[in-house]
Chains A and B, each alone.
Chain A
Amino acid sequence: MVAPAFDYVAAGSYEEAVRLLAENGDEAKVLAGGQSLMPMLNLRLAHPELLIDINPADQRPPTLDNEMLRLPALTRHRVLLEHDLVRQHCPLLAEAVRHVGNVRVRNRGTIAGSLAHADPTSEIGCCALATGARVVVRGPAGNGQSERTVPASELFAGYWSTTLDPAEIITDVLIPAARPRQGWSFQEMVRRTSDFAIVAVGVIFNLAERSGAPASATVALAGVADRVVLADPELLNDDPDESAARIAETLDPPDDVHASGAYRRRLARVLTARALREASARAAV
């Protein structure tokens, strides 16, 4: 099919993009990598009157500052996959991005575009939750603009929707750098490589720095609800199988054309147990 007609404007800065968004309200959509928005337009699932292209707004590379990985909004998936800072300080994300789309999608797709799209099967959203990422958001404030920081755990509102104000734009993603004695694992089930996840699980596992005893674990799941979700840490104990079973019991995944809810719940249990094992083994090295 062919996209409905829309107008286009290139924004030279995030400030300009926010101003254009505020002026045009619901009729405008932000265009970043376009690997989710453009298919929705081509399938006529969205009918914006104006696309605000933020590609000219930002050329910054990833940086590390005070044990915090700063990924500018337009960081392409390929950069997440290949950049030394990401591979070293957020190996979970570098691995998860291998499962996103194909070469062409990874060349254009962006980290903030993926988060703002808020797909419930998103690998990147899953990693944002598991790592305790935060997003820096710019929006209108009074006569000017202001920035605020939103934890990933408060970003997702449901199918393809976020808690952000319609005129707000994500400008940066902040991810705490991996610590010593930290392990990670990403597990995903798909029918064909590059498909949307049926279920994906991301785990970050911390051992206590002195004693080496299990200290904390964070489990995030994709494909099990109307958004990516964090498992309740209270459900975790020292036994990966028991923890995974308790997490799966709390889930009520939807049926759809790709898989039944019961199958998804089973996958959540199996993949969570695998991920906890792998992450704890990596932490112990």
Chain B
Amino acid sequence: MSKRQVVLGVNGRDHEVWITPSDTLLDVLHDELGLADVRYGCGEGVCGTCTVLLDGEPVNGCLTLAVQAAGHQVTTLRGLMGLGEAMHPLQECFLRRGASQCGFCTPGMILTALDLVHRTGRPTREEIRYALVGNLCRCTGYTKILDAVEEYADQAAGS
């Protein structure tokens, strides 16, 4: 189980990190690279708080080994933000609609919703519900999250 060095492409930058084979991508992003927007929730792929984009597709950080991500592009919520931590338009929608309370689920919600909108354009409310079923929120009751995603999809479709 000796440590090995891999290069992880995270949010547009390459990071050389020493990992053990059993380290998950979540372990390395959160503990080694200090990315607090990737979070341990359940460890079973059910709750969605460790969601990251692997080559643009949402995956469970807790169920992907860090070594498997070498040579691929990883994007976390922070990677969507602009220079000077300018918010992504979907984050603005979450703020405006009150779709984030404690904030623990928010990064996973946003990454999953963004993938949906990119793939489908203007999803129906039912399609948003279906896509977000694997992202648990214990504060908002989900309604405001759906509102925020709809608003963003409308914006994105209009521009």
Question: B-contacting residues of A (Cβ < 8 Å)?
Answer: 1-8, 10, 31, 34-35, 38-39, 41-43, 51, 53, 55, 101-105, 107-108, 192-194
15 contacts between A and B (CB under 8 A): A3-B22, A3-B24, A8-B22, A8-B65, A10-B67, A38-B60, A39-B45, A42-B43, A101-B134, A102-B48, A102-B133, A104-B60, A107-B59, A108-B59, A193-B133
B121 within 8 A of A: no
Given A39-B44, A39-B63, A104-B58, 20 other A-B residues pairs in contact with their CB atoms under 8 A: A3-B22, A3-B24, A4-B22, A8-B21, A34-B64, A38-B45, A38-B60, A39-B43, A39-B45, A101-B45, A101-B134, A103-B112, A103-B116, A104-B60, A104-B63, A107-B57, A108-B63, A193-B130, A194-B133, A194-B134
Q: How far is the CA of A34 from the CA of B62 in the complex (A)?
A: 10
Contact string against A for B residues 15-33, beta-carbon threshold 8 Å, 1 for contact and 0 otherwise = 0000011101001000000
CB distance from A41 to the nearest CB of B (A): 8
A30 → B minimal CB distance (Å)? 14
Q: Determine the chain B residues whose CB is within 8 A of the CB of A102 once the complex forms.
A: 45-46, 48, 133-135
Report yes or no: B64 in contact with A108, Cβ–Cβ below 8 A: yes
Does residue B131 face the partner (Cβ distance < 8 Å to A)?
A: yes
Please state if A5 and B134 are interface contacts (CB–CB under 8 Å).
no
Nearest residue, chain A, Cβ from B4: A8
What is the interface of chain B, defined by CB distance below 8 A to chain A? 1, 20-22, 24, 27, 43-46, 48, 51, 54, 57-60, 62-65, 67-68, 112, 115-116, 130-131, 133-135
Q: Which of A3, A6, A103 contacts B134 (CB 8 A)?
A: A103
Contacts A4-B22, A8-B22; is A34 near B63 (CB within 8 Å)? yes
Which residues of chain B are within 8 angstroms of A41 by Cβ–Cβ distance?
A: 22
User: Which residues of B sit under 8 angstroms from A105, Cβ to Cβ?
Assistant: 45, 60, 134
Q: What residues of chain B lie closer than 8 Å to A34, measured between beta carbons?
A: 63-65
Pair A5/B43 contact, Cβ less than 8 Å: no
Q: Enumerate chain A residues within 8 angstroms of B57, measured Cβ to Cβ.
A: 107
B20 touches A5 (CB 8 A): yes
Q: Closest 9 CB pairs between A and B? A: A102-B134, A8-B21, A38-B63, A42-B43, A39-B44, A104-B60, A194-B133, A5-B1, A107-B57
Per the bound structure, the CA–CA distance linking A51 and B65 in Å amounts to: 11
Contact among A6, A8, A39, A103 for B58, CB-based, below 8 A: A103
